[in-house]
Amino acid sequence: MRLAQIIEEDDIIPELKAKDKVGVLEELAEVVCKHDPLLKKDRVVKILLEREKLGTTGIGEGIAIPHGKIDILKSPLLAFGRSKEGVDYEAIDNKPVHLFFLLVAPENSSSLHLHILARIAKLLKNNKLKKKLMEAKSKEEIYKIITEADKEISI
Catalytic residue among 35, 67, 98, 115: 67
Which pTM was predicted? 0.96
Cα separation of 55 and 70, whole Å?
19
pLDDT, the chain, mean:
96
126-145 average pLDDT score: 97
Amino acid sitting at position 136: A
Question: What pLDDT sits at residue 57?
Answer: 97
The half-sphere exposure of 44 on its side-chain side, counting CA atoms within 13 A, is 32
* pLDDT for the residue 77: 97
Average pLDDT over residues 77-99: 98
Does pLDDT of 128 surpass 80? yes
pLDDT computed for residue 154 by the predictor: 80
Query: Which H or E run includes 84?
Result: strand 77-87
Q: Is the pLDDT of residue 105 over 80?
A: yes
Give, as one character, the DSSP assignment of residue 88. B
Residue 67 annotated as catalytic? yes
Q: How far apart, in whole angstroms, are the C-alpha atoms of residue 136 and residue 64?
A: 18
Region 58-62: mean pLDDT is: 96
- Of 3.10.180.10, 3.40.640.10, 3.40.930.10, 3.30.420.40, the CATH number of 3-151 is 3.40.930.10
- The model's confidence at residue 110, banded by pLDDT at 50, 70 and 90, is confident
**pLDDT for the residue 22:** 98
pLDDT exceeding 70 applies to what percent of the chain?
100
**Among 143, 137, 132, 131, CA closest to 31:** 143
Pairing relationship of beta strands 97-106 and 58-60 according to DSSP bridges: unpaired
